[in-house]
Structure 1
Amino acid sequence: MSEQEVVTGLYWNNYLSVTAITVIFYEYFLLLDKEAKYVWKRPWSIMSCLYLVVRYFGLFLVLLCGLWGGLLYMPESVSYILAVLMEWGFSVYFCFAEVILIWRLYALCNQSKLLLYILVGLFLPIVALSIGTDIYLYSRRNVFSVKEFVAQNTKYCTFSFNIGPMPAIYTSIPISML
């Protein structure tokens, strides 16, 4: 791939990041009055706390991905920390989102204790598998690398797995089945 193609790809990445961030902020501002009415002005519950965690932690992750993905140049030392933070953040985000889905199914099925026990029994091994995969893939510096490139007066960082993606693929199969 030539340097001109790399720079063109970075520009496209910037354009898509700006577009995605704009659409996401539009959606957040559009629903802000409903959120204030149905979440902030009501008595607090575990579900409202989970909703806010998923909503605003998801926004944080999207902004982090959009900014680190090309809008801002960050040196290699910072990029490694941000890449690990994003990957761990995605795992935490999906666990919270799955807890909300389990809770909704429990409520929709007339608060069936049997269904709740089955879903939580399936969910806990998935969480353990997700944590183990994250520790294996992202916590060791030699498995995950961030490289800095310079092309036509443009600096950017990219990350890659040194062990290949197969452990993540194999462990994501049971996670996606839940």
Structure 2
Amino acid sequence: MTIVSNDPTWWPTINAYRIQSYFIVAAFVGLAYDWALTFGQEVELVWRQRWSLMTVLYLLVRYLGMLYAALSMLSWIMYATHNWMGVVVFAMLWVIIITRLHAMYQGSRKILIFLIVTFLAVNIFDGVVAVIVMMHTSGEEFILSGTYLCQINYTEDIILLDSITWIISTMWEILALCLAVWIAVKHFRELRHHSAGGIIRDCFSVLIKTHVVYFASVVAASCLYVIVDLSPTILADQYYSLESQTFFGLAQILTSVQMSVLGPRLILGVREYHAKLVADSDAASGMTSIAFQERVHVSTSSSV
């Protein structure tokens, strides 16, 4: 049922949705700009290379992330799609991170099993929460002063559950970062006196650099979402103030950047580094290094 009203008391709601739409447009424009800047690299390092699991994950994360940013809450169907798309894209991002860590730990079965178990536990919890959210939320269509809106209604328990999900996901990201830093420092120490250590050390530096930048976005977005969900001030004004919409909008932008920009760069950065090695050094073609695809040890070549 669609509710039509010209009551001025609805104007704060209209203004809140208008501010939210500005952030949605800003996020999508930023992602489109980054896509335009890196499309040449994508064609060279992804489309023209041998297809693998990482190729598929790169393309899905890249373009589903852009679609995630473009979806606005115009209807209940879009809200549900937006919610589940976030669960799926984050799961794919974690598969990428697990693959990187498995390679950095030289194919260790123990670390792989540990990461898969924690990954499944967190993602099963996220999936259950997503189902609960869908069951306890509802959408209402409004035409307020000539403006079409879809208002999503949910309880405070759902807000708390959503915050717990973000906190648990952030803890998993912290665990992954600690594992990456630990093995990188260990390798730096071991390779200090090896002649070929400089090349491998540079590869680890690229892995850590891209991971740290990605992690910074994760922490920033998680903090903003938790502030939005748990702040008494924001809950009191029901998200209608400029402060509330600014926090929520910035969190949306950071999440979109994490998905569609920094996530794909976890793959693109390593492939670009290997491509430069092949172009700049004849010795690089025979070097056994950390390759960012399904297998751990492969020769650096155009198939990376």
Name the aligned partner's letter for residue 101 of structure 2.
Answer: L
1:176 deviates by: 2.8
1:157 and 2:150 aligned? yes
Name the aligned partner's letter for residue 153 of structure 1.
Answer: G
Matched-pair contact (CA < 8 Å) for 1:6–1:151:
no
Matched-pair contact (CA < 8 Å) for 1:61–1:89:
yes
1:30 and 2:26 aligned? no
Q: Which residue of 2 aligns with 1:14?
A: 21
1:95 deviates by: 0.5
Deviates more, 1:110-119 or 1:158-167: 158-167
Cα gap change, 1:7/1:160 in structure 2, threshold over 3 Å: closer, same or farther?
closer
Which blocks of at least 5 consecutive residues in structure 2 are unaligned?
A: 1-7, 173-304
TM-score, normalised with respect to structure 2: 0.50
TM-score, normalised with respect to structure 1: 0.81
Q: Which residue of 2 aligns with 1:121?
A: 117
1:158 deviates by: 1.9
Cα gap change, 1:113/1:136 in structure 2, threshold over 3 Å: closer, same or farther?
same
Matched-pair contact (CA < 8 Å) for 2:133–2:158:
no
Cα gap change, 1:164/1:114 in structure 2, threshold over 3 Å: closer, same or farther?
closer
1:126 deviates by: 1.5
Distance 1:6 1:167 in 2: 24
Percent of aligned pairs sharing the same letter: 26
1:151 deviates by: 2.9
Q: CA RMSD in A?
A: 2.0
1:13 deviates by: 2.8
Cα gap change, 1:82/1:7 in structure 2, threshold over 3 Å: closer, same or farther?
closer
1:137 deviates by: 1.9
Larger Cα Rg: Structure 1 or Structure 2? 2
Cα gap change, 1:100/1:167 in structure 2, threshold over 3 Å: closer, same or farther?
same
1:172 deviates by: 4.3
User: How does 1:22-171 map onto structure 2 within 5 Å?
Assistant: 22-64=29-71, 68-69=72-73, 74=74, 79-138=75-134, 140=135, 143-162=136-155, 163-171=157-165
Cα gap change, 1:172/1:19 in structure 2, threshold over 3 Å: closer, same or farther?
closer
Cα deviation digits, residues 40-90 of structure 1 (max 9, x gap): 0000011111111111111111111xxx24xxxx4xxxx111111111111
Cα gap change, 1:32/1:107 in structure 2, threshold over 3 Å: closer, same or farther?
same
Name the aligned partner's letter for residue 61 of structure 2.
Answer: V
Q: Give the secondary structure class of the aligned counterpart of 2:50.
A: coil
Distance 2:128 2:14 in 1: 37
Q: Give the secondary structure class of the aligned counterpart of 2:123.
A: helix
Cα gap change, 1:86/1:98 in structure 2, threshold over 3 Å: closer, same or farther?
same
Q: Which residue of 2 aligns with 1:177?
A: 171
Distance 1:8 1:23 in 2: 23
Q: Give the secondary structure class of the aligned counterpart of 1:110.
A: coil
Distance 1:8 1:136 in 2: 29
Q: Give the secondary structure class of the aligned counterpart of 1:44.
A: coil
Name the structure, 1 or 2, with higher relative contact order (CA <8 Å, separation 6+): 2
Distance 1:61 1:85 in 2: 9
Matched-pair contact (CA < 8 Å) for 2:28–2:66:
no
Which blocks of at least 5 consecutive residues in structure 1 are unaligned?
A: none
Cα deviation digits, residues 95-126 of structure 1 (max 9, x gap): 11111111111112222222111111211112
1:23 deviates by: 1.3
